[in-house]
């Protein structure tokens, strides 16, 4: 049950930044629409960036450890469409995080769940560290704000 809760927290609560809903594999995915330049979100992104060294240290130490789940939110762009989605990270090298895309895009077609990817550390909008019990150990700066914006 805790693993299901973790999946819902990671994939459902911090959904994309445009307003959509869909059900996939019995999971409801909702997104949040924010105005471009939303000051609160941008301040939370700055907070995540300020504390990113903590996340990078965790990746270096626990990136391949199944007892931890290290995730980042970043902006994916395709034909001018933006979706802000989550990826699980397992490695860091020279300013780049390496991982697997774990979210479910609403509009974008060129990214698939399970796809390997690289994300520049400067492109991280939020991050979170969970233990094997699904307990949040750090990060998740924007989740409560985005949940408050869901309609």
Global confidence as pTM: 0.79
Band of the pLDDT at 34, cuts 50, 70, 90? confident
CB 94 within 8 A of CB 100: no
- Structural domains of the chain ordered from first start: 37-141 (2.30.30)
Where would I find the beta strands (DSSP E) of the chain?
21-24, 27-30, 68-78, 81-93, 96-101, 116-120, 124-131, 136-139
Q: Which among 76, 61, 83 is positioned nearest to 120, based on CA atoms? A: 76
Does residue 35 have a pLDDT over 60?
yes
pLDDT digits 0-9 by tens, 100-140: 999 988 889 999 999 999 999 999 999 999 999 999 999 99
């Amino acid at each position: 049950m805790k693993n299901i809760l973790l999946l819902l927290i990671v994939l459902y609560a911090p959904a994309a930044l445009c307003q959509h809903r869909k059900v996939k594999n019995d999971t409801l995915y909702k997104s949040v629409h924010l105005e471009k330049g939303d000051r609160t979100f941008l301040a939370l992104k700055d907070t995540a960036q300020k504390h990113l060294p903590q996340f990078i240290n965790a990746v270096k130490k626990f990136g391949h450890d199944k007892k931890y789940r290290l995730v980042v939110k970043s902006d994916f762009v395709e034909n001018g469409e933006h979706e802000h989605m989550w990826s699980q990270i397992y490695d860091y090298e020279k300013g780049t995080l390496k991982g697997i895309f774990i979210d479910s895009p609403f509009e974008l077609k060129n990214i698939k769940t399970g796809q390997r990817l690289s994300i520049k550390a400067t492109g991280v909008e939020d991050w979170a560290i969970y233990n094997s019990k699904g307990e949040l150990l750090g990060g998740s700066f924007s989740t409560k704000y985005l949940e408050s914006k869901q309609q």
